[in-house]
Amino acid sequence: MFRAEHFDQAADRFRRATAMFPPHSVAWKGLGHALLCMGKPHEAACAFDQAIGLKSDSATALWGGALAHAEIGNKVVAQNYLRRTLALQPTWLTMAQGVPQLAHFLKVSTRAADLLRQMFGAFSGRTYRHAQETQNAIEVGRIANLPVFGQWTFVSMGVSNKDWPEARPRVELLMASTVDSEVCGQIIANLGFHLTTTEFFPEPGTMVRDVVASLAAGELSQRLPHVYVCSPKAWNVHLPLEVGPPAITLAQIFPISEAEYQTWRNLGADGFERSLVERRVDIADLRRSGT
């Protein structure tokens, strides 16, 4: 019945088989596939869960479970099932990349997000889309009381999908702020889009001009228009997050003034960072003068 695409009749047979012999993993798996083909992903997910519980090394059950759970939005379960599928059947990677519901879980940024949540705990995120290329999106996570109490951490999830030349590591962007503001996410997303478009790698010690200025974020854009990139020492994280391949790492960013930009040009990266320490500048303070 299933091969003849009579899915409702196949589902009925499989369901009767599971009723007669509940430990029948193949019947549960068949029921899941039939229900999935009938456009009933919630019921299919339950059937696949039963099949996987009875036979955890069934690649076809895990594959169907990944599809069903992805369809109903259970991302964590779908990703887990997909990883287990590919561990059993590595050659199915190409097939998974051709399925939109599953391809998302194969992105480097998905792995980066997992690593960040393992390190920082659960946190929410907001998606930002490129103004001209709406399919190009970067999610920005927000974490309270990091790197210290009373500050917020904003972190990108999406920049690491960029494959840099010269075998550079994939990178996500971190920013600390004493102000819990939407503009922090906008700064990270705007810089992320700029870096991936221009292929300018965010090496610590480098500067990117007009990232904040281009946001037209009121007087902040005039006072601290540029962005500086440095190592994320305040979080005390061991880098890279993952050796890979590909390796995944983090880079800290913070807005700077035109005067600070000129100091960086005159003194270089080491001299500029030394001047910040000597002047006791709180780089997380978006309200600072920047003089």
Contact residues for 268 (Cβ-Cβ < 8 A; gap 6+): 205
Indicate whether 106 pLDDT > 90: no
Indicate whether 273 pLDDT > 80: yes
Q: What is the pLDDT of residue 166?
A: 82
Q: What is the pLDDT of residue 175?
A: 97
CA distance 103 to 100: 5
pLDDT tens-digit map of 236-245? 999 999 887 8
Q: Residues 31, 11: contact at Cβ < 8 Å?
A: yes
Q: What is the pLDDT of residue 75?
A: 84
In angstroms and rounded to an integer, the radius of gyration of the C-alpha atoms of the chain is 24
Q: What is the pLDDT of residue 206?
A: 96
- Higher pLDDT: 103 or 183? It is 183
Q: What is the pLDDT of residue 227?
A: 97
Secondary element (H or E) of residue 277: helix 258-278
Within 10 A of 247 (CB to CB), how many other CB atoms are there?
16
Indicate whether 107 pLDDT > 90: no
pLDDT, mean of residues 165-181: 93
Strands (E), 133-243: 137-144, 152-157, 170-177, 207-208, 226-230
Indicate whether 290 pLDDT > 80: no
- For residue 91, give the DSSP letter: G
- What average pLDDT is seen over the chain? 93
Enumerate long-range contacts of 66-69, CB under 8 Å, 24 or more apart.
66/102, 66/105, 67/36, 67/41, 67/99, 67/101, 67/102, 68/32, 68/36, 68/41, 68/42, 68/44, 69/41, 69/45
Angle CA 108–109–113, to nearest 5: 125
Q: What is the pLDDT of residue 108?
A: 84
Indicate whether 133 pLDDT > 80: no
CA distance 277 to 100: 48
pLDDT tens-digit map of 62-79? 999 999 999 998 888 998
Q: What is the pLDDT of residue 135?
A: 73
Q: What is the pLDDT of residue 244?
A: 78
Task: Name the pairing type of β-strands 226-230 and 207-208.
Answer: antiparallel
CA distance 244 to 254: 27
- Higher pLDDT: 149 or 93? It is 149
Q: Residues 132, 149: contact at Cβ < 8 Å?
A: no
pLDDT, mean of residues 248-275: 95
Q: Which of 83, 107, 87 is nearest to 97 (CA)?
A: 107
- Higher pLDDT: 205 or 216? It is 205
Q: Domains, the chain, ranges and CATH?
A: 7-106 (1.25.40.10), 122-278 (no CATH)
Indicate whether 49 pLDDT > 90: yes
27 alpha carbon, distance to own chain's centre: 36
Tokens of 221: 């854009």
pLDDT, mean of residues 183-203: 94
End-to-end CA distance of the chain: give it in Å, rounded: 76
Tokens of 196: 């991936």
Q: What is the pLDDT of residue 103?
A: 84
Indicate whether 137 pLDDT > 90: no
Provide, rounded to the nearest whole percent, the portion of the chain with pLDDT above 90: 79
Question: Bridge-partner residues for 140, per DSSP?
Answer: 126, 156
Q: Which of 162, 163, 140 is nearest to 152 (CA)?
A: 140
